[in-house]
């Protein structure tokens, strides 16, 4: 029938479009047209994706000709727009991901829709012959996700029967240079990084408040407030990039931000900071022993970043459970985890830190910003960094480790109970109204994610359920 052919032709156009935009796997491939075909990253299942998914989940795609028919156009454009907002495969081929494996959220999302048989949308498969995913293809996708996850993302510490869970145990530690860590820790706690010597990094990221300040917005020097909630520094090393809008590529780059932010630490420049640190002979000598060239912006931020790599919180009860200790969590908590997966939460809050691996629209399924009112500058999200219109309202998915201690929640810091966070996520991100009983179970599960730092269970201000 017409439509099958259309999809096929469409795939051809897509291949050409992707080729022309250099979306092949490697740089070499991108520069020579004869390189591997697009979507090769998806190895075994590339063909299925190309034939059955790419039309609605890749950008720069030319709509099939029947889209010109009045009435049809609106439907297709809506599918295309909503599809792209939910999963944009072009991101897998952007400059930051070009040579990286398919991301964890993409894997988890594909797994969810395949397992639940929701894609392509029923209203589309009903009228487009041959567009359905066959049961063989379904098996193939699920097997591929499992093997890909095992190869690229599994921590390797979960028991065999839980090895393919979207949530993975945290590693106990990462390799670090102990001497750098020691000076980095001192600098993280050093108020001389601020213009008026009143505020250190730890002043907004208290380790006894699970790496946050438990404020809606942080207070900088001279009683100034920003308009965005401070995320935790614990496990931040696992984020694909730093800040809610990802404007720092890594921890080192991030650490160069706050000291000069006028409403945070408000120093003038590195010279000002180094001038003060230089007067501290003991610290300067210790620093020189590790960084022979002495104080510089690059070495200071390197040391802080090295220290932050030690800010992990392994061994939560949930990790113990993943590692095989069956009674580490209660029946309700285990049920909560099943619901966490069923309500799609683990499509975005995925991996060892349950987040930090993708940017998602806070108004994916419903207009959060209209319902909330009171617009904030920080609502822009990723657009504030990339300046791209399509990035409006996209935020880096926060990690959910130690979540019961890191309130208030969301970039706007307006959510003060865990139940409310789950309700909002259901409505605006998952597209499902979650009944109170299920919300309570999910909250129970989330409270098992509190881990240990330096051998001690994290404590702090517990957010009400």
CA distance 159 to 324: 5
Distance of closest approach, residue 135 Cβ to ligand HEC, in angstroms: 13
- Among the listed residues 25, 92, 264, 404, the single catalytic one is 264
Q: Is 351 in the site for ligand HEC (CB under 6 A)?
A: no
Distance of closest approach, residue 188 Cβ to ligand HEC, in angstroms: 6
Q: Is 347 in the site for ligand HEC (CB under 6 A)?
A: yes
Pick from 41, 209, 317, 349: which binds ligand HEC (CB under 6 A)?
349
- Nearest C-alpha neighbor of 301 from the set 454, 183, 221: 183
Which pairs count as long-range contacts for 133-137, CB under 8 Å and 24+ apart, including other chains? 133/48, 133/52, 137/45, 137/48, 137/52
x/- map, 128-167, ligand HEC, by CB under 6 A: -----x----------------------------------
Site residues for ligand HEC, window 15-44 (CB under 6 A)?
A: none
User: CA angle, 218 as apex, 417 and 381 as ends, to 5°?
Assistant: 75
Stretch in the footprint of ligand HEC (CB under 6 A) among 9-17, 53-61, 164-172, 317-325: 53-61
Stretch in the footprint of ligand HEC (CB under 6 A) among 32-40, 78-86, 287-295, 455-463: 78-86
CA distance 408 to 231: 10
Give me the half-sphere count of Cα atoms (radius 13 Å) on the Cβ side of residue 361. Answer: 23
83 versus 351: smaller Cβ distance to ligand HEC: 83
Measure the CA dihedral 209/211/214/217, to 10°.
160
User: CA angle, 372 as apex, 417 and 360 as ends, to 5°?
Assistant: 80
**Residue 260 Ramachandran class (φ > 0 left, ψ -120 to 50 alpha, else beta):** alpha
Pick from 83, 314, 336, 451: which binds ligand HEC (CB under 6 A)?
83
Stretch in the footprint of ligand HEC (CB under 6 A) among 47-55, 58-66, 178-186, 279-287: 47-55
Q: Is 403 in the site for ligand HEC (CB under 6 A)?
A: yes
CA distance 116 to 160: 23
Q: Is 362 in the site for ligand HEC (CB under 6 A)?
A: yes
Catalytic site includes residue 264: yes
Pick from 166, 184, 314, 426: which binds ligand HEC (CB under 6 A)?
426
Q: Is 52 in the site for ligand HEC (CB under 6 A)?
A: yes
- What would the two tokens of residue 430 be? 């998952």
- Maximal C-alpha separation, the chain: 80
x/- map, 179-218, ligand HEC, by CB under 6 A: ---------x----x-----x-x-xxx------------x
> How far apart, in Å, do the first and last CA atoms of the chain sit?
55
Count of residues that bind ligand HEC according to CB under 6 A: 73
Stretch in the footprint of ligand HEC (CB under 6 A) among 178-186, 240-248, 267-275, 312-320: 240-248
Q: Is 242 in the site for ligand HEC (CB under 6 A)?
A: yes
29 versus 167: smaller Cβ distance to ligand HEC: 167
CA distances to 206, 391, 412 from 374, in Å: 29, 20, 10
CA distances to 2, 23, 61, 80 from 77, in Å: 19, 23, 11, 5
Pick from 119, 290, 328, 441: which binds ligand HEC (CB under 6 A)?
119
In this structure, the chain runs to a length of 465
Pick from 14, 23, 109, 291: which binds ligand HEC (CB under 6 A)?
109
Q: Is 120 in the site for ligand HEC (CB under 6 A)?
A: yes
Pick from 15, 364, 392, 414: which binds ligand HEC (CB under 6 A)?
364
CA distance 350 to 112: 12
CA distance 261 to 381: 18
Stretch in the footprint of ligand HEC (CB under 6 A) among 8-16, 30-38, 113-121, 155-163: 113-121
29 versus 88: smaller Cβ distance to ligand HEC: 88
Site residues for ligand HEC, window 292-311 (CB under 6 A)?
A: 304
- Nearest C-alpha neighbor of 207 from the set 460, 463, 464, 462: 460
Q: Is 449 in the site for ligand HEC (CB under 6 A)?
A: no
Distance of closest approach, residue 455 Cβ to ligand HEC, in angstroms: 23
- Nearest C-alpha neighbor of 413 from the set 263, 223, 204, 262: 204
CA distance 146 to 156: 13
Q: Is 56 in the site for ligand HEC (CB under 6 A)?
A: yes
Measure the CA dihedral 126/129/130/136, to 10°.
40
Distance of closest approach, residue 435 Cβ to ligand HEC, in angstroms: 12
Pick from 169, 398, 451, 460: which binds ligand HEC (CB under 6 A)?
398
Site residues for ligand HEC, window 325-344 (CB under 6 A)?
A: 340, 343-344
- Nearest C-alpha neighbor of 114 from the set 93, 143, 90: 143
Site residues for ligand HEC, window 243-272 (CB under 6 A)?
A: 243-244, 251, 254-255, 258-259, 264-265
Residues assigned a catalytic role: 264
């Amino acid at each position: 029938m017409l439509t099958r052919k259309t999809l096929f032709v469409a795939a051809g156009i897509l291949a050409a479009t992707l080729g022309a935009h250099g979306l092949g796997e490697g740089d070499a491939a991108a520069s020579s047209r004869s390189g591997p075909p697009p979507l090769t990253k998806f190895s075994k299942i590339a063909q299925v994706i190309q034939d059955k998914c790419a039309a609605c989940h890749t950008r720069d795609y030319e709509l099939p000709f029947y889209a010109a028919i009045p009435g049809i156009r609106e439907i297709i454009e809506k599918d295309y727009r909503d599809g792209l907002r939910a999963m944009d495969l072009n991101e897998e081929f952007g400059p930051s991901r070009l040579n990286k494996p398919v991301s964890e959220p993409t894997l988890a999302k594909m797994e969810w829709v395949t397992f639940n048989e929701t894609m392509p949308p029923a209203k589309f498969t009903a009228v487009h012959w041959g567009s359905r995913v066959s049961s063989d293809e379904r098996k193939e996708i699920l097997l591929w996700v499992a093997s890909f996850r095992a190869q690229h993302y599994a921590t390797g510490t979960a028991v065999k029967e839980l090895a393919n869970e979207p949530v993975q145990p945290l590693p106990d530690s990462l390799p670090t240079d102990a001497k750098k860590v020691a000076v980095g820790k001192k600098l993280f706690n050093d108020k001389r990084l601020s213009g008026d010597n009143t505020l250190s990094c730890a002043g907004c990221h208290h380790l006894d408040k699970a790496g946050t300040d438990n404020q809606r917005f942080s207070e900088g020097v001279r009683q100034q407030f920003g308009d965005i909630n401070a995320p935790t520094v614990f496990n931040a090393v696992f984020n694909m990039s730093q800040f809610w809008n990802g404007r720092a590529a890594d921890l080192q780059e991030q650490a160069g931000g706050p000291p000069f932010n006028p409403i945070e630490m408000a120093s003038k420049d590195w010279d000002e900071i180094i001038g003060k640190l230089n007067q501290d002979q003991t610290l300067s000598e210790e620093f020189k022993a590790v960084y022979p060239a002495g104080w510089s912006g690059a070495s200071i931020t390197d040391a802080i970043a090295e220290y932050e790599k030690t800010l992990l919180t392994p061994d939560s009860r949930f990790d113990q459970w993943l590692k095989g200790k069956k009674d580490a969590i209660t029946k309700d908590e285990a049920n909560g985890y099943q619901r966490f997966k069923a309500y799609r939460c683990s499509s975005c809050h995925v991996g060892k830190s349950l987040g930090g691996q993708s940017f998602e629209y806070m108004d994916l399924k419903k207009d959060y910003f209209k319902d909330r009112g009171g617009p904030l500058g920080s609502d822009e999200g990723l657009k504030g960094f990339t300046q791209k219109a399509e990035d409006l309202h996209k935020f880096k998915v926060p990690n959910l480790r130690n979540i019961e201690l890191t309130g208030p929640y969301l970039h706007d810091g307006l959510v003060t109970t865990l139940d409310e966070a789950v309700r909002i996520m259901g409505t605006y991100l998952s597209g499902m109204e979650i009944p109170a009983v299920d919300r309570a179970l999910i909250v129970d599960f989330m409270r098992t994610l509190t881990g240990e730092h330096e051998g001690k269970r994290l404590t702090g201000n517990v957010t009400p359920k």
